Every structure is written in C-alpha cells, then in structure tokens.
Structure 1
C-alpha cells in the first residue's frame, strides 16, 4: 500500500487513533467474522485454515463482496445492520458495543464487570457527573473506558434526536448580493 506520512498520521475525529489504525482494526474484525483470522489473545492475530485456503486460491480482491461468500460474515452483517443507524460523524471508525450493562454501579465495579465478561473496553454513562477519583481511576486501569456524564449525555441526545421532539424549525435568509450585481462590469 502506498500510504504517505501525512495519511498515516491522520487521526479519526476522536483524536485517539489514526485512520490507518482504525481501518486495520476493521480489516481484522471483518476477516475474523468471515473465519479467516482468529485472535487467541489481545494483539495476537493468527490466520485460520480457511484463511490459508483463501490465500492459496490467490483471490484477486478481498472485499465486502468476497467476504459475503462466507456464511459467518453474512450472519454478522445481518446482526450489525439491525442495530441503530450510526451518525455520519462516527462512521469513520465504528466500534459497536458487544454487551450492555444496565445496573447502577461505580467505576470500580464497572471495571470488575468488564473483566468478568472478558471485555477490555466500555462506556460508563451517568445522568450526574463523575468524581475526580472516578476519572483518575479509569485512566489508570488497563481497560479502555469512555465516561459520559449527564451534560454530555444530554448534548448527545439533542445532537442525535434521541428522547426529544422538534417543536419548530427556523430558516434564516440573507440577501444574495450576487443576484443584484451588475455582471456586465
């Protein structure tokens, strides 16, 4: 792949990883869902027997159409397509949540729940705010945890039209001076 230094350094909107890292992650995910790659542990990816067969067959192109020939990949896409639509701003690097915990807990118990379920990342949402200790704690643990407080939750709900309704829409117009200019000079 011919990737320039600028392209390799470009960050996704969150600013946490590069677009290249994000795309590599999704390539690994897609290949895994098709059964061509497996990850026995974090950061270890191994080609499967089925993956070796694909390489031996020298497929001209491995893309979504090709991966759709694998039943496990099609099944995964059907499940993924039944999830709520992803906002345009999130499409560059979509990371769906694997499991949802709906019970009150503190960040320490939340990390314990993630560990118990074999997860390494999670989103912790509260309608209030997080203490300084909680925000410090989630930075120190090995899990990747996104904290969303009440103010951010409300902003996200308004931004994506969740839990509210439009009461009115306003159009603000300005005069288009080009329309009234003398084009003959």
Structure 2
C-alpha cells in the first residue's frame, strides 16, 4: 500500500482510473499480469488490489476521497510517509483508530481481526473469497470424481450423455440423445444431436478408467476408426483418467474428424458448472456501489 500512498504525496486529487495506469507502469507489470482476472471474472487482479489498498488507506484516514473515485493524501498520510515505514500493510494500519473502527464494525470483529493479521499485504478480501471459492470448487470436483468412480460403467456412459445434454447439445432434450453401450457399434458408447434439428451428430466414447491411468494413442486410433465407420466428423472422448501426450498429438493432427478430449478433471469441472450431480448449498451476494444511480442515469 505504500506505493499508493506515495503516489498521492503531491497533495493533488488523483482519479482511481489514472492511478491504475501509473501504478501498473511503476510496478512494471507484464502483459500477463495486466490481463489476469479474478476467478470470478468480474475484475482484473491488479485493479482489485489497488482498489482495496485505497479502501484500507481511506479507512485509516491517511487518504480521503473528495469526489467519487478520486483520492488525496491527508495530513496523517504525510506523517506516515515522514515516518517512512518499511511496509504499509494491514498490520501497520491497525495502529490508527479509523482502521480499528473498520475492523470492529463487523459483527464478528474477532474473526475479521484475525483474518487481517494473517493475510498477506497483497491479498484483498476479494482475493480471499475467490481463493476460498476455488479451494471449495476443487475439493468438490475431487469428491465428485470419486463418486463417479464408485458407479457402474453403464451409469458412466449415461452420465456423459446427460452432461452433453445439460451443456445444450441436442437442444437440451434428452430424446435427442442415445446411450448405445454394449449395443453400440465398434467403440461408440453414445450419440447426441448437435442441435435440436439434428443437422449433425456427435459420437461419444466413455472410459471409466482409474484416475491414475492415462488413455493412450491406441485407444484414440480405435475411436477414430469407429467414427470413420459411422461416417462421422465429430466425436467426444470422455474419461475419468487423463490423456497421454501422444494421444493429444494424434488427435490434433486429425483432419477428417474433430475430436474433443475431456479428462477426469475437466469432466468434474463441467459437471459442477452445469449442475450435474451437485446441488447449491449456499449463495453469497457481493454488492457494490451502483454508480449509474448516483449519476442520475
């Protein structure tokens, strides 16, 4: 937070949007860092962290906001820079009454106080929420894959067809899909219409393999042969395992047909995303100022 405070040391009013640009240059952020989004996809990471730094500094009353999204250093802020601490982070700001009031304003001030003490100086509350969400989602995906492995091969074949239907293939109608299973032709476990009119079909191969194993090129060659036998141009190979490098390279070189590979991790993530085999436990709404309301628009 110290660079943000130093930027305001000229006593001028700085707009937040301008501060984003100046600080990005000052920190020599590379293109990947400038384009990195929070897991929620709502805001760029570097802008989020600058925003929270401004919030913390304002709560500590070392800066003020004379106009919306604009900031200026206070006399207290000048005293901080004169003191020249090595870092200005949440722990440092706890020495100021305004920041203590901010901590104590929550209904669970002990929890917030501990959280602010424990987190790194470059992590905002949004970072923590997004990181917690990612951890919960990854754990759920792992548990989901374990549950899938406990089911029968027939269940798995139906699951992959249901997943594609939930993703919108077949016009989201189950009657536009078919599980072939043991009655299938030469390694085709299912077929689904690509759209509600059925102009094209997607053929499916489902392999419920040990998650520690990898599907190799020979299995993909068989699948390509099965697609050729059906006169098909599109296929999806879905497995609970992973794919070898050779298998991926082989698929990428196919010209006659397009094959999508979905491994165990991708399968679980898609199931979570499309609410297949999972249910919502809790919902949290994070709100922000509606600037259009205050602008009279």
Q: TM-score range by the shorter chain?
A: 0.3 to 0.5
More helix by share: 2
Q: TM-score, normalised by structure 2?
A: 0.29
Q: TM-score, normalised by structure 1?
A: 0.45
In our comparison, the structure showing a higher alpha carbon Rg is 2
